[in-house]
Structure 1
Amino acid sequence: MAPSLLRFITTEELREREARARAAAAAQKTRNQSFALYSAAALIVTLGLTYASVPLYRAFCSATGYSGTPMTDKSRYSSPSRLVPTYNDPLNEEHKTQRIRVAFNADSDPNIPWTFTPQQREIYVLPGETALTFYKAHNKSDKDIIGIATYNVLPDRIAPYFAKIECFCFEEQKLLAGEEVDLPVFFFLDKELLQDKEARDVHDVMLSYTFFSARRNPKTGQLEPDTDLSNYRVGLDELPKRT
């Protein structure tokens, strides 16, 4: 009886050990899967932030008007009341609101064989009044070229109130050899500028674009203007005189 009982106990122990081993292996597998998922998530987030660094910077500039960047935050014109021309000065209803001269400037980097010009040199708008203008770009070479435009507005203090509803800035523009295209800019000056003592007396504004050939960022692989954006200032040092 003793040998038989011994064999029976040994079998049970083996079964228990096998069960514990399977449970331990399953737990280890679960931990490995969780670690792999967390690692993958962290990697995705890191890569996402890396690839989004330039768009996030653009979004920050567009949302705050930082460094003379015209506003493109669509929440600013979600209310139809913002898109109504202001005919009277809100601080003095007896005075008519003076129209603001918006001049347009266009440049192209010497390394890109394009001509780039505004189709209108200037327009006059009231705060809250929408306006549409066009730029023209022409690829003079015999090769297809991708260009990207940077932009700025002067004076800097008007930038938080210069809201662009539609524009071509920081977007890849591929022009075929010899191709010519019209590029629209749809914008308005937010009427809140009339409440800002530093901006309300601005009556001359310059919106300026410069086209660069596109280069591939060696770290992110993203196309970007072939220039040092941290040091380059688009636009003119002074506004042109009225003619």
Structure 2
Amino acid sequence: MAELNREFQRRQRDTYKKRNQSLFMYSAATIIFAVGFTYAAVPLYRAFCSATGFSGTPLTDPSRFEPSRLVPAYLDPSTNRPAKRIRVTFNADASDAIPWTFTPQQKEIYVLPGETALAFYTAKNKSDRDIIGIATYNVAPDRIAPYFAKVECFCFEEQKLIAGEEVDLPIFFFIDSDVLDDPSVKDVDDVVLSYTFFSARRNPKNGQLEPDTDLSKYQVGKDL
């Protein structure tokens, strides 16, 4: 009987040991996944916004840039009347923490749906040291964002300006002609494209450069 009890206790200990090992492995895997997802959250969110136009983020999905889509729509298919041009105005801001001037070279551009347009901003480093900056962007009103596509843009890319340097920064974009089929944006005649430059900092956890600020304090991804 004593031998049977010892065998039973041994098997019970082995069972608890295996159960604890399984629980430890599961917990470790969960923590690793959570940490990895946290590191990837910003780029994943940025990719999601760029692909869907969420929160006023202009589209950057390259599948939208097929030649057949980059054709001005001269007629509105719903009315068979000439399509109206949409006024795109440009806004530029620089945070107080970065000693740059940042301005659009043009006040506005009028474009037809499907028509490509090229615009420029100018940034100048007014300090006596080299500085890396990063620009965030959004488009307003929010509901036009799914149709505002950027073919080429300087946003979220590091821009290093040496002391006193001035550069021209291009933005190549179009408003998708599908906008003509969406009743929710039929009344949109004016679009505002906004950029804000911040000094850059390197994230100590993942090494990525990111704006050196709390973006929640700015009109980033929000209707103006």
CA RMSD of aligned residues (A): 2.2
- Structure 1 or 2, whichever has the larger Rg, is 1
Cα deviation for residue 232 of structure 1 reads 3.0
Cα deviation for residue 197 of structure 1 reads 0.6
- 1:200, 1:216 → 2: CA distance? 42
Among candidates 74, 86, 96, match of residue 110 of structure 1: 96
One-letter amino acid of the counterpart of residue 195, structure 2:
Y
What aligned pairs does 1:1-243 form with structure 2 within 5 A after superposition? 49-77=37-65, 79-93=66-80, 95-230=81-216, 232-234=218-220
Aligned partner of residue 55 in structure 2, secondary structure: helix
Contact 2:56/2:142 (<8 A) preserved: yes
Cα deviation for residue 57 of structure 1 reads 1.4
Give % identity.
73
Aligned partner of residue 158 in structure 1, secondary structure: helix
Contact 1:207/1:235 (<8 A) preserved: no
- Number of residue pairs the alignment of both structures matches: 196
One-letter amino acid of the counterpart of residue 183, structure 1:
L
Cα deviation for residue 121 of structure 1 reads 0.7
Cα deviation for residue 211 of structure 1 reads 0.1
Calculate the TM-score normalised by the size of structure 2: 0.81
- 2:153, 2:37 → 1: CA distance? 25
Aligned CA distance change for structure 1 residues 231 and 61 (closer, same or farther; 3 Å): farther
Q: Which runs of 4+ in 1 moved over 3 A?
A: 45-52, 234-238
Contact 2:104/2:122 (<8 A) preserved: yes
- 1:107, 1:50 → 2: CA distance? 29
Cα deviation for residue 230 of structure 1 reads 4.3
Aligned CA distance change for structure 1 residues 184 and 133 (closer, same or farther; 3 Å): same
Q: Which runs of 5 or more structure 2 residues have no equivalent in the other structure?
A: 1-27
Q: How big is each residue's C-alpha offset from its partner over 1:96-133, in whole Å with a ceiling of 9 and x where there is no partner?
A: 10100000000000110000000011000000000000
Cα deviation for residue 52 of structure 1 reads 3.5
Cα deviation for residue 219 of structure 1 reads 2.5
Which protein has greater RCO, CA pairs closer than 8 Å, 6+ apart? 2
Aligned partner of residue 92 in structure 1, secondary structure: coil
Q: Which runs of 5 or more structure 1 residues have no equivalent in the other structure?
A: 1-38, 239-243
Calculate the TM-score normalised by the size of structure 1: 0.75
Aligned partner of residue 183 in structure 2, secondary structure: coil
